[in-house]
Structure 1
Amino acid sequence: MANTPEQNNAVCVEFFDTAWNTGNVRADLLTADAVDHSFVGGKAKSEPGVGSFQHIVGMFRHAMPDIHLTMLDQIYAADKVVHRWSLTGTDTGGVMGMPPSGKQLTFTGTTTVRMADGKIAERWANVDELGLLQQLGVVPPPPGA
């Protein structure tokens, strides 16, 4: 029997809250062949398994050990869950391969998940990398900002 949309959302909230806020990427909430469709640093990749999820969370948690995820919106229907979120943290380890800035950063994004048998089967994320790069001073802010 398939999970309800509400149950699917609860699984996603548990997975992402635990992963980002504690660093514990719970493989038990992923299908064995879960695919993380990431686009980070201008490179698209799709990798199956828990390792890809661990890599992306680990990369940001290394750069910002005090990183904290806040869910801003939760939308769910059938086997899809969409979260709009905000991440904040202090850049002490160097974000996206850049030298540490020591800056407090805040960036937002949207994650879409496809569920299968009560577990996360696929994840797509859109992150405001431009806003992040502007906060780091790598890209100038828009005129008049």
Structure 2
Amino acid sequence: MNRREIRTVLGNMRPDLYDHELEGDHTNDLEEGAQRLQGLMKQIPDLTVDVRDVIADGDKVVVQAVWSGTNAASQKKVEFHGFVQWRIVDGKFAERWATVTPVVEIPEGAKVW
């Protein structure tokens, strides 16, 4: 993500990636995923991901990360953070569970999560 290589990110996912989200569980359309990532990077052009922790066990990996940058419209610093669990099949992400906070503005001088 930090290199803005959306195709590389999506190349690590199976085409039948199953996503467990608040909007409902569904098979993820990789092109739709690419469009969502592009939209996020347009909204936050300097978006970076800071991986804080990774735990792996068998075919599962859990990642704790903070996503931050500058909102293009407001020019204010923003962040969101959370945990994502992936199930891996044949070296690619096959299933995803995520708990992620909403994007919020970060006041000047505030400590980030």
TM-score (structure 2 length as normaliser): 0.77
Q: How does 1:50-65 map to 2 (within 5 A)?
A: 50-65=30-45
Report the secondary structure of 1:123's partner residue: strand
54-63 vs 117-126, greater mean Cα deviation: 54-63
2:6, 2:37 within 8 Å by CA — same for their partners in 1? no
Match of 1:120 in 2: 93
Residue deviations 1:3-31 (CA, integer Å, cap 9, x gap): xxxxxxxxxxxxxxxx3541423243222
Match of 2:61 in 1: 81
> Stretches of 4+ moved more than 6 A in 1?
none
Residue deviations 1:68-125 (CA, integer Å, cap 9, x gap): 0110000010111100001111100xxxxxxx22111122111110110111101222
The answer to whether structure 1 residue 34 and structure 2 residue 13 are counterparts is no
Higher strand share: 2
Identity of aligned residues (%): 26
Letter in 2 for 1:49: D
Q: How does 1:1-20 map to 2 (within 5 A)?
A: 19-20=1-2
Higher helix share: 1
2:63, 2:84 within 8 Å by CA — same for their partners in 1? yes
2-structure distance, mates of 1:82, 1:75: 5
TM-score (structure 1 length as normaliser): 0.62
Match of 2:80 in 1: 107
Q: List gaps (5 residues or longer) in structure 1.
A: 1-18, 93-99, 137-145
Structure with the greater alpha carbon radius of gyration: 1
